Amino acid sequence: MKVSLQKDMEVTVDADAYLSDLRNEVTQLRAELALRKQEKEEATRADLLSYIRNLPDQQMGSLTNTITPEVLQAMRSLVNNVLAGIVDDKGETIGPETVTEQSGNAMAQLCMWQLVVGYNLRELEVREEMEERMEGGE
């Protein structure tokens, strides 16, 4: 294939080789993009974990002081059930006193699930409290 660069200048280009180079570059860019997305997701998870770990006791208390004992128990049950599903190297489920090593991603996911479940349960409690107040006021 001939390409005109200027009025009097033409260059012959091997179209198949050019397209092959473009395909290779697209493949490399897609792989790099996927890697960047994965790194970003891992950094976000790590940030959440480190944020939760570094909360001062007062702030942690203010996040949980409106949660009822029932919601706290439900959140604990969620964590206990998830941890009960983890099997050690001997094929035994881990107990409450077992020390285990998990990835930051797994812990971040567990924290997120715990937060979501706790939030939703607390929201349901607030709705129920509002309904009771409205029924009592009428």
Angstrom distance (rounded) from CA 78 to CA 122: 15
Ramachandran area for residue 93 (φ above 0: left; ψ -120 to 50: alpha; else beta): beta
Q: What is the pLDDT, as a whole number, of residue 138?
A: 54
**CA–CA distance, 135 with 25 (Å, rounded to integer):** 66
Mean pLDDT (10-residue bins), the chain, 138 residues: 74 82 94 90 70 78 78 82 73 69 74 80 87 80
Question: Which residues on neighbouring strands pair with residue 87, listed in sequence order?
Answer: 93
Q: Where are the domains of the chain?
A: 1-54, 58-138
pLDDT of residue 46: 66
Identify the pLDDT of residue 88.
66
Nearest-Å Rg of the Cα atoms of the chain is: 28
In the prediction, which pLDDT does 70 show? 84
Instruction: Label residue 94 exposed, middle or buried (CB < 10 Å: 0-12, 13-18, 19+).
Output: middle
What pLDDT, on the 0 to 100 scale, is given for residue 137?
A: 63
